[in-house]
Structure 1
């Protein structure tokens, strides 16, 4: 099968959506050819066999014309993959022109509230919708007139480079962490994404310092909300216990995860949270919120502690318990392994709805018109 993939970011991008796309495209490339059209790419791109990533086109009009040209000149394609709800109208247009179904992937807050008419109409005509968590799926179905059996959960995975190990002496020295206990949060620090919970962890730090005077809060990530958090740390009197280290390279992130004694991100708007898996796979106790897609990543408490993300007392208690408990066995996170993820992706692509084993494969793509739209039945 040949797949034309529309994506905001993939290879060369930063953040959870870019990582999710890379993992998905690599899984698809095991059996299919994937042509990726990214909107953004901020570093050298490296792609795998059976994956071609085109030059990024940020301008909306130029991007749309590039997608049309790719469809016509490099087709035929068997499937259009749409990597963001906001790109659904373009995906639907290409789907109609190419007479092939399109698959919509949704992540988090972009799909939780009822969108404008054009986005809603396009999403409702997707043949398949996959959500990275049950929470996002439920939110989508609350506003979309869409068959629930065609809305699937496709959880994220994590890389094999995340595993337990000793703290890096070089990084301990770089960030002045010798003899320190380390709390860690990894995520974009954006004014539009204040749901990560950094502020609540800063408040928790105030209460924890009496019992843990050597406790350091290591914040990985950058964005326009960093100055506000730095001011908040100063207001709370914990500036000396906080390290803002900015964005780190992908290849360095596993060692940064192993610096942590506790990973904590009490979010209220997380679609899933790949970083929870990465920290847990590194043998680090994990704390997340109980009000969003984090519950799926935490396996409802089997992988990490679930707290009310806006209750500082609960966060404090969870951190204390995590610091005092033995490090967890990372085997609990194996359900999200790359092998299981690849199998799950294959199942979504290869099977129709439960009880119907007719494959959706090259040479057996069903493009049906039903209730005013094309349909692709999935597992």
Structure 2
């Protein structure tokens, strides 16, 4: 885990979740990378080392110390090396290790031109045999790990992503207020993108989508939150196609502030080329913002409703994506209907709902309360 109170990544949701867990458990939090002093209301036992560079030896030592002091349940969030190390401890000396992971590795590696036979993948395959139990976000991803990496199904638990829904829930007439605070036009239709501006997250799709949309819906603005390697090219494309008046590139915005932007938007878009389980879609649903999204090579369907599936298109289908977006922008009643559907669907992924599942499946089933 890494910590920064101003992070724009999904870790911000994890901080709140851990704080809630500490109300039920004797919990020690080990943070591998911190920026600033970690602030929690209920977590009192925190081991952290403020630095930007990851220190594996320090992390392993803290895990060993926790084990010697009686901790027997270990939950590792994305930290693969720590999951392997704790799994070896718990296999030989008793206890249980859980490893959260939700990445389509083969797709990610192809995007970066890395061979599927690289040493990193071989290490992942070997370590997967050692790790006690995998946790992933959906049945889709459970099937993925079984099929791509031969991880036994009985070793994989599905525990979905979550958000604190109350942070994003809008109040009546709030949109005008937030638009004024954010210096956004009151009458313009606003389309929100919140993601890294990278190839895999669909950054390069933004301008081609916009070129089709503005022809039929000229009174609209793309609000782009995020940064990344694709940004310079996107800026050039915006200039080249005369779309400057239809784009605002805002760069990175901390997740603490991000609800304001959802509450000001009319439609959210996620044109990712692949997507395992997007928390940004959950944020949009909680804010009552209808969306158009890509299928994430199949993953998006696993946590959205049947009505929302009508606005999920195949990855790379730029024209299909643009047409779905035009449909939503031109139909206010449809947007309201999608808004209600989203707010109903997101309740399945509220922090409290998933917290209960976490305690039941990972803790109480082991009859231990130290993690």
TM-score between the two structures when normalised by the length of structure 2? 0.82
SS at match of 2:200: helix
Residue 65 of structure 1, aligned match among 43, 58, 63: 58
* Mean Cα deviation higher: 32-41 or 298-307: 298-307
Residues 208, 316 of structure 1: 8 Å contact kept: yes
* Mean Cα deviation higher: 160-169 or 207-216: 160-169
In structure 2, the CA distance between the partners of 1:241 and 1:42, relative to structure 1 (3 Å rule), is: farther
Match of residue 194 from structure 1: 199
Distance 2:41 2:125 in 1: 33
Q: Which has the larger helix fraction?
A: 2
- Cα shift at 1:173: 5.8
Distance 1:334 1:21 in 2: 17
Match of residue 103 from structure 2: 108
Match of residue 267 from structure 1: 272
- Cα shift at 1:181: 0.6
In structure 2, the CA distance between the partners of 1:97 and 1:150, relative to structure 1 (3 Å rule), is: closer
Residue 183 of structure 1, aligned match among 174, 191, 205: 191
Residues 260, 284 of structure 1: 8 Å contact kept: yes
Match of residue 80 from structure 2: 86
Which aligned pairs between 1:219-238 and structure 2 lie closer than 5 A?
219-238=224-243
Match of residue 337 from structure 1: 350
Residues 175, 243 of structure 1: 8 Å contact kept: no
Residues 11, 47 of structure 1: 8 Å contact kept: no
Residues 111, 140 of structure 1: 8 Å contact kept: no
Distance 1:258 1:40 in 2: 32
In structure 2, the CA distance between the partners of 1:177 and 1:97, relative to structure 1 (3 Å rule), is: farther
Residue 308 of structure 1, aligned match among 314, 320, 328: 314
1:325-368 Cα offsets, whole Å, 9 max, x none, are: 242212232111222111211222146xxxxxxx3122899xxx
Is residue 27 of structure 2 the alignment partner of residue 34 of structure 1?
A: yes
In structure 2, the CA distance between the partners of 1:186 and 1:133, relative to structure 1 (3 Å rule), is: same
In structure 2, the CA distance between the partners of 1:43 and 1:363, relative to structure 1 (3 Å rule), is: closer
Match of residue 326 from structure 2: 320
The count of corresponding residues between Structure 1 and Structure 2 is 347
Distance 2:30 2:101 in 1: 17
Distance 1:256 1:95 in 2: 44
Give unpaired runs (5+ residues) of structure 1.
1-6, 352-358, 366-379
Distance 1:98 1:322 in 2: 57
Match of residue 162 from structure 1: 168
SS at match of 2:74: strand
Distance 1:361 1:111 in 2: 37
Match of residue 374 from structure 1: none
In structure 2, the CA distance between the partners of 1:95 and 1:342, relative to structure 1 (3 Å rule), is: same
Match of residue 288 from structure 1: 293
Residue 349 of structure 1, aligned match among 362, 366, 369: 362
Distance 2:34 2:249 in 1: 24
Give unpaired runs (5+ residues) of structure 2.
110-115
In structure 2, the CA distance between the partners of 1:304 and 1:30, relative to structure 1 (3 Å rule), is: farther
Distance 1:298 1:137 in 2: 17
Distance 1:156 1:175 in 2: 32
Distance 2:196 2:238 in 1: 17
